[in-house]
Structure 1
Amino acid sequence: MSTASNSGGNSSSGNGHSHGHHHDDEFDRGLSYDLPVFARRRMIRLLAGASMVPLVAACSSDDSGNGAASDSSSSGSSSSSSSGNSSGSDCEVIPEETAGPYPGDGSNGPNVLKESGVVRRDITKSFGSADGVAEGIPLTITLTVVDQASGCDTPKEGAAVYLWHCDREGRYSLYTDGVTEENYLRGVQETDDKGQVTFTSIFPACYTGRWPHIHFEVYDSLDDATGGQDVAATSQLAFPKDVCDTVYATDGYSQSVENLSQLSLESDMIFSDGYDQQLATTEGSTDKGYTVTLTVPV
């Protein structure tokens, strides 16, 4: 099967990961396996909304602060998440998301984090005994990790980010038939004095049932990331639609065109309850490649 489903349960595992999954036979349960996560987040939002009713009534004379629905037709060259770049009282922790069934962090089968070579910038190639190369439109990914407690103004230097995503065919290395021996499109980096990490990769596919996305985990340190310690945050990055449409019109992404046509950010079971903080600023072209940037408050 060439397309992989990004769904996963949430249970603890012996390696200290708080978002772990169950067993190998659960890798292929499909999108329904994400529903508990979706339902949980939806319930949290409903409860939060209910708790705000008295406050809204008391402040009905000034409704200028009411949040507006996010525009899903953001420009491909300047799409961004305003919430993700906010500071002060508007600063919020990045939404917690499922790591899916293909994390490769030891919480659900393979653990690439303990392998020599996983700390790297270029994740297009497999490392170690594997030699596969992921083909696709070039993509540079920069995440800026900031301290939410300080109002998102303080970068978290010395933290670590583990990032992974599917390839042009929608496959996840280590798990999907045909690439189980590969470990490309996975890598770890330590944040610099600006709280930033940058990865060189390729634009991921849109596979059945999920909006195009990138997974990432934030750790307190590089030692924590490579040593199987607790994850500080697990989330996903989303791409704007017009950029996806442009990329998927190029060679090698044909299946993504049909898959994307059946989805929207509002209907995706992960992003449907809000994606302002996760919609990356995206710039570039299919000729020169794209860059995506996202601020990650933790």
Structure 2
Amino acid sequence: MERKNFIRSLMIGAISTPVIIEACKKAGNTESNTTSGSGTANTSAGTNGTCTVAPTETEGPFPTKVPASYVRSDITDGRSGYKMTAKISIGNINNSCAALAGAIVDIWHCDAEGNYSEYGGTGMQSTNYQSVHFLRGRQTTDANGLVTFTSIFPGWYSGRATHIHVHVYSASGTSLSVTQIAFPEGAGSAVALVNGYSKGLNGYTYNNADNVFSDDKTGIEIAKVSGTLAAGFDLTFKLNVRA
């Protein structure tokens, strides 16, 4: 979805929950240079391939308003939930997917209750969090193409599977990729262990029915997630871009 269409969707549909689902649909623009991939959208293990281009996805409806203001590795901001460390590696498709140093990586996701910071007080999200900025952050990749964020395991909201939004820029600020990260599902998975926090998983939308991830037949958008409720979870994901 192009930005002008995203903005229009907010203006027209801010009074109804279905707009969230519509605005989170796929951008409809995916790369085709895929060399490998494994995993499926509804199993407890999945991984993106070593030189695979993840599909372009929408960044709405709750993108960070001023991402450059949140250069930080700990994005928790006091939100309660099970600890999660997210390690995202960026590779360069134009260099055999070698590590891309100096790339700028923004991430954002909802809290345990399925709410986003910087938004709210409307039909799209009743709880008003417009004045706070939790679970949003920016980091620059190191020599290994890696950024690390400390956060909490995301909750879920109607119509979507558990996910993290990612926007990657070049060092000069040129947009390189907008995508979303899915989580493994099934018995023993982190999604099953967390069990939707207090909401449970009744009404949860799994990856294979999610309007963003349902066509990910090889699992290239599914991260590797390990850990326990007591110790917290570790997420790793490789995202390759054209730089």
Structure 1 position 80 matched with structure 2 position 72 = no
How does 1:1-298 map onto structure 2 within 5 Å? Answer: 9-11=1-3, 21-22=7-8, 25-26=11-12, 28=14, 29-35=19-25, 37=26, 40=28, 70-75=39-44, 79-81=45-47, 84-86=48-50, 91-104=51-64, 111-115=65-69, 118-125=70-77, 133-152=78-97, 154-176=98-120, 177-221=127-171, 224=173, 230-241=174-185, 242-248=189-195, 253-260=197-204, 263-274=205-216, 276-298=219-241
Query: When the two structures are superposed, what TM-score results if normalisation uses the length of structure 1?
Result: 0.68
Query: When the two structures are superposed, what TM-score results if normalisation uses the length of structure 2?
Result: 0.83
Task: Quote the offset at 1:191 in angstroms.
Answer: 0.2
Distance of aligned partners of 1:68 and 1:220 in 2 relative to their CA distance in 1, 3 Å threshold: closer
Distance of aligned partners of 1:34 and 1:73 in 2 relative to their CA distance in 1, 3 Å threshold: closer
Q: Name the CA distance, whole Å, in 2 between partners of 1:23 and 1:273.
A: 23
Task: Check the 8 A contact 1:27/1:102 in 2, yes or no.
Answer: no
SS of 2:11 mapped into structure 1 = helix
Task: Check the 8 A contact 1:240/1:280 in 2, yes or no.
Answer: yes
Task: Check the 8 A contact 1:173/1:185 in 2, yes or no.
Answer: yes
Q: Name the CA distance, whole Å, in 1 between partners of 2:134 and 2:24.
A: 24
Q: Deviations over 1:65-111 (max 9, x none)?
A: xx999434433xxx231xx242xxxx23221101111002xxxxxx2
**AA matched with 1:123:** I
Structure 1 runs of 4+ with >6 Å offset: none
Q: Name the CA distance, whole Å, in 2 between partners of 1:266 and 1:291.
A: 23
Distance of aligned partners of 1:146 and 1:114 in 2 relative to their CA distance in 1, 3 Å threshold: closer
Q: Name the CA distance, whole Å, in 2 between partners of 1:296 and 1:144.
A: 6
Q: Name the CA distance, whole Å, in 2 between partners of 1:235 and 1:184.
A: 20
**AA matched with 2:216:** G
Q: Name the CA distance, whole Å, in 1 between partners of 2:103 and 2:13.
A: 29
Q: Name the CA distance, whole Å, in 2 between partners of 1:288 and 1:150.
A: 37
Q: Name the CA distance, whole Å, in 2 between partners of 1:200 and 1:244.
A: 18
Task: Check the 8 A contact 2:40/2:216 in 1, yes or no.
Answer: no
Q: Name the CA distance, whole Å, in 2 between partners of 1:68 and 1:23.
A: 33
Distance of aligned partners of 1:286 and 1:68 in 2 relative to their CA distance in 1, 3 Å threshold: closer
**AA matched with 1:277:** I
SS of 1:258 mapped into structure 2 = coil
Q: Name the CA distance, whole Å, in 2 between partners of 1:70 and 1:288.
A: 25
Q: Name the CA distance, whole Å, in 2 between partners of 1:271 and 1:71.
A: 10
Distance of aligned partners of 1:113 and 1:33 in 2 relative to their CA distance in 1, 3 Å threshold: closer
**AA matched with 2:128:** G
**AA matched with 1:112:** V
What is the aligned residue count?
A: 225
Q: Name the CA distance, whole Å, in 2 between partners of 1:102 and 1:72.
A: 24
**AA matched with 1:210:** R
Q: Name the CA distance, whole Å, in 2 between partners of 1:68 and 1:182.
A: 38
Distance of aligned partners of 1:114 and 1:145 in 2 relative to their CA distance in 1, 3 Å threshold: closer
SS of 1:170 mapped into structure 2 = coil
SS of 1:246 mapped into structure 2 = helix
Give 5+ residue unaligned stretches, structure 2: 121-126
Distance of aligned partners of 1:208 and 1:218 in 2 relative to their CA distance in 1, 3 Å threshold: same
